[in-house]
Amino acid sequence: MGRFPVPDVETLPADLRERIEAETERAGFTPNVFLAYAYRPSHFRAFFAYYDALVADTELTREELEMLVVTVSGVNDCLYCVVAHGALLRIYADDPRLADQLATNHRAADLSDRHRTMLDFAVELTEAPGHVDDADVEALEAAGFSRRAVWDVASVVAFFNLSNRLSVAADMRPNDEFYTLGRD
Amino acid sequence: MGRFPVPDVETLPADLRERIEAETERAGFTPNVFLAYAYRPSHFRAFFAYYDALVADTELTREELEMLVVTVSGVNDCLYCVVAHGALLRIYADDPRLADQLATNHRAADLSDRHRTMLDFAVELTEAPGHVDDADVEALEAAGFSRRAVWDVASVVAFFNLSNRLSVAADMRPNDEFYTLGRD
Amino acid sequence: MGRFPVPDVETLPADLRERIEAETERAGFTPNVFLAYAYRPSHFRAFFAYYDALVADTELTREELEMLVVTVSGVNDCLYCVVAHGALLRIYADDPRLADQLATNHRAADLSDRHRTMLDFAVELTEAPGHVDDADVEALEAAGFSRRAVWDVASVVAFFNLSNRLSVAADMRPNDEFYTLGRD
Amino acid sequence: MGRFPVPDVETLPADLRERIEAETERAGFTPNVFLAYAYRPSHFRAFFAYYDALVADTELTREELEMLVVTVSGVNDCLYCVVAHGALLRIYADDPRLADQLATNHRAADLSDRHRTMLDFAVELTEAPGHVDDADVEALEAAGFSRRAVWDVASVVAFFNLSNRLSVAADMRPNDEFYTLGRD
Amino acid sequence: MGRFPVPDVETLPADLRERIEAETERAGFTPNVFLAYAYRPSHFRAFFAYYDALVADTELTREELEMLVVTVSGVNDCLYCVVAHGALLRIYADDPRLADQLATNHRAADLSDRHRTMLDFAVELTEAPGHVDDADVEALEAAGFSRRAVWDVASVVAFFNLSNRLSVAADMRPNDEFYTLGRD
Amino acid sequence: MGRFPVPDVETLPADLRERIEAETERAGFTPNVFLAYAYRPSHFRAFFAYYDALVADTELTREELEMLVVTVSGVNDCLYCVVAHGALLRIYADDPRLADQLATNHRAADLSDRHRTMLDFAVELTEAPGHVDDADVEALEAAGFSRRAVWDVASVVAFFNLSNRLSVAADMRPNDEFYTLGRD
């Protein structure tokens, strides 16, 4: 898989090994992103610590968070993130089709005003960050997001603009399991 | 400054306070990015831990790292990062003009082949991540980057695609000092 | 479904009814594209006659044809075509993952040179038709396509640039069945 | 002419020969598109049957139909369609200049609100199909198009997104006559 | 015509009046660009003095100069310049069809290598000036342009990037005569 | 400097020599743009005569004129114009930071409505001239620009779309002095 060596899990520092084992237990397989980042332990720690912070300290539901990830990853053409987070979105939204809709075109999904506004913002901040303006933030507030939640939306979008770029540069490939998880 | 509240430093958790004090001592002023992220301490910790990892564990010189940051931030129209990291680049490269050149158009700077190839890659990974290909990685290797260094280049580009987007969403403004640091 | 009335199949002209019944029998459900086009019987006949000609008189394998459709539909953000033809591609290629790869980014799929060249051409003819040049046709020939097969590639790309645009304008929605067909 | 062989009309199936003779009689010369498509008789039949259906079963005037064709073909940089349908537009609109205006920039033509809205929609559906939305359809209705006419507008735009792409891929060249027809 | 007042020629300063009379005599009608610029006599003088310098002091043939103008104006969607300079190109090239070809898509015209390279450069300098590079200049030299002629090519492209923008901002309209001049 | 020979000032025609001496006296150094254009005296005269007319006959303040230049040059990635006119803007606006803000992203500067509208127009006329419309001109008027001032705004934008393109084609480099002028 990919453009960088994948280390043997046994040889990794204990904290990485533990995290990988926990993730493997939770998922039933080892998501490839953990193996890819293990190439550089200090980056592994930083990347997942940031991800954990986004999930733990947020005004967004987990479903909303994954809606953002899948939409942004679709815009950025990132296969790993579309497929792996597509699976998570199917599970958290309890909806077997929403991920394919958002990855292809969020305008073709039946979204609440709140979610349509959220994803319009995500696409703009991804495609043309310099165009973001007070009016965009006000549109989010008018759709029901607190100012604190606006930070969370922007942070998730920003983080996956990082994640998408490292994934494509590393040519990360989604585990086969992700393609079908949550489809029934 | 910006679209989110800036907390009083005195009220922050000790680790944030210590980091902010250390940065203030080092720079002679408190760079606004630290105050902006302090709005959400868990995100502050994650963001700067990632940044620290990129600086500490890398095959790139500090000058190369800042060349990447300024070029990417110019493409993304991010004022805070262009101005603040422009100052860092002037200092680390000991060159008062390189930052303005890269922020405007890296093709108009007198670069070595190594650095021109590095910045061409940075622009492509920023503007069109889905277009990155084996050929791009091979071009970096032909210009003298080890495979390990390719990861570092990609990671810096990816991280500042995060940083640029949060900065513009938060409307972070560079401290006045950054505009002139390292110009003489 | 969608932005135009869907007629009662019972009221349709006999040839449309027969086609719809045949398709329903073949698929086990009535693909929505047949109901959408039935709104205008003369357009229904023309659209499916063209499609039938492309499938019947071609130098491409059916798998190649569906690879083209899914790639083009991904570029054009067309949900109906990505999902419905994604199912067909999974079946004809006997590959449960290729469709998601091509819909997201054909550069992230493990393709033969022949297929990579074919899909590079498809993307260019979709995104920037005026840029197509003798060199592009020669690249297809160098990858093993006869001149006659070049016509077939171009025709499939062209036809789905029609189909994608009518689908999004009509807001056609894929049948639920398409999301999962061929995934195991 | 072009990138594919042009068959001898005498050798073509009778139905193609008859159509070509009828078109030649009508125009006073044989429009090259008929010779180009004759390379593949089954595709010839499908292409012109669709075109005939669009012209025969429509809520648009013939002038409006050709306005759409010329505008879309200008966006797609398709020489054959700009020049051949430019001639048709001059004739149907009884206006020797409208075609050059629309092929260059529909915003620079003196259009009724109805036609400006129609062509704005045509440009969006051509350039960014995934952006089309309920609001665009409502704008057409507000400009006087019935819902049924919206289908016709979208169908013409879609069909010429096919036609433009096959024309450029085949490098079809307009007959000399088309450049001057209807200019006085 | 247009968005700015057109002064009465009788009231203009003598040098403008003389120029306008000379142009009127030469063309048989008064090209609208002279009336449009007469709104601001000092700008009129500067604009036409620059134009005169480009025509008088150049290594390009007049035909090449007009090829550049029509191609650039097509990219910039400028109706006045496409139509007025289209007429000039038909006359100087003694070719009734080249202008329509270049305005639509210079890749669809039968050009010498010299002219194809010249127009590829013109399109790049128009669409993405920051991308121009030593390699582009070397390509022009390889196609037979002296270094001095490269300056002339760039100057014509640059000047009509000015002219196109003022024409569209002023909504200048081509005289009816230009649409047909040189077509037979 | 650059891609074209720079003549010896002593050998230039008297009017060029005088202009260059006057500019040198005024600035304390010879701005490189004068040496670059001196390669072709007739073009030198035309270029600076136009520039002089824009500055002398205008409804804009000199500060506004330089705001336009820096913003347009940032969009066009022109190093010479960003740096040289950045210095002029710092001086005329008596603001050491506005130039860096506008060159990076005019949306990140604290602008009056008048200036925000003016620069939004400048960006549109630069990036997509064919999209300019009556509504854009009306927006300028609503922001306080007379119709005559609209011409001036458009003319400055148009002229620097010329200037930017010749500068990048010639690879003009800003004098070192411009990088620091007006920063304190």
Residues of chain C scoring pLDDT < 50: none
pLDDT digits (tens, 9 = 90+) for E41-100: 999 999 999 999 999 999 999 999 999 999 999 999 999 999 999 999 999 999 999 999
Instruction: Label each residue of chain F as H, E or C.
Output: CCCCCCCCHHHCCHHHHHHHHHHHHHHCCCCHHHHHHCCCHHHHHHHHHHHHHHHHCCCCCHHHHHHHHHHHHHHCCCHHHHHHHHHHHHHHCCCCCHHHHHHHCHHHCCCCHHHHHHHHHHHHHHHCHHHCCHHHHHHHHHCCCCHHHHHHHHHHHHHHHHHHHHHHHHCCCCCHHHHHCCCC
* Crossing angle between the packed helical segments F41-56 and F147-170, to the nearest 10 degrees: 150
Output the six-digit token pair for A164.
């998408």
**Cβ pair B50, A54 in contact under 8 A:** no
Element (H, E) at D117: helix D113-127
pLDDT of residue A35: 97
Residues of chain F scoring pLDDT < 70: 1
Interface residue C48 vs chain D (CB under 8 A):
no
CA–centroid distance for A43 within its chain: 17
Average pLDDT of every residue of chain F: 97
Interface residue C170 vs chain A (CB under 8 A):
no
Report, as an integer, the average pLDDT of E120-141. 97
Output the six-digit token pair for D65.
């139909």
Q: Do F105 and A130 touch (CB under 8 A)?
A: yes
Q: Do F137 and E56 touch (CB under 8 A)?
A: no
* CA dist., res. C68 & res. C62, Å (int): 10
- The complex's ipTM works out to 0.97
Q: Do F147 and E3 touch (CB under 8 A)?
A: yes
Closest by alpha carbon to A149, among B40, C66, E94, F27?
A: B40
Provide DSSP, C93-109. Answer: TT-SSHHHHHHH-GGGS
Interface test with D, best of A77, A102, A105 (most D CBs within 10 A): A105
Average pLDDT of every residue of chain D: 97
Tokens 């604190």 locate to A148
pLDDT of residue D1: 66
Output the six-digit token pair for B22.
């250390």
Q: In which band, very low, low, confident or very high, does the pLDDT at D62 lie, cut at 50, 70 and 90?
A: very high
Q: Has residue A22 got a pLDDT over 80?
A: yes
Interface residue A154 vs chain B (CB under 8 A):
yes
* CA dist., res. F163 & res. E4, Å (int): 24
pLDDT of residue E184: 84
Q: Has residue D19 got a pLDDT over 80?
A: yes
**Cβ pair C108, A167 in contact under 8 A:** no
* CA dist., res. E124 & res. E131, Å (int): 7
* pTM of the shown model: 0.97
User: Which 104-133 residues of chain B touch chain C by CB within 8 A?
Assistant: 130-133
Query: B169: which residues sit within 8 A by CB, 6+ positions away?
Result: A125, A129, A132, A137, A150, A151, A154, A157, A158, B3
Name the residue facing A179 among C78, C100, C107 (closest C-beta).
C100
**Closest Cα in chain B to A80:** B130
pLDDT digits (tens, 9 = 90+) for A52-98: 999 999 999 999 999 999 999 999 999 999 999 999 999 999 999 99
* Crossing angle between the packed helical segments E79-93 and E62-75, to the nearest 10 degrees: 150
In chain C, which residues have their Cβ closer than 8 Å to the Cβ of E105? 130
Query: E138: which residues sit within 8 A by CB, 6+ positions away?
Result: none
pLDDT in tens, chain B (184 residues): 689 999 999 999 999 999 999 999 999 999 999 999 999 999 999 999 999 999 999 999 999 999 999 999 999 999 999 999 999 999 999 999 999 999 999 999 999 999 999 999 999 999 999 999 999 999 999 999 999 999 999 999 999 999 999 999 999 999 999 999 999 8
Closest by alpha carbon to E69, among E178, E184, E180?
A: E178
- Asked if chain D contacts chain B via 3 or more Cβ pairs within 8 Å, the reply is no
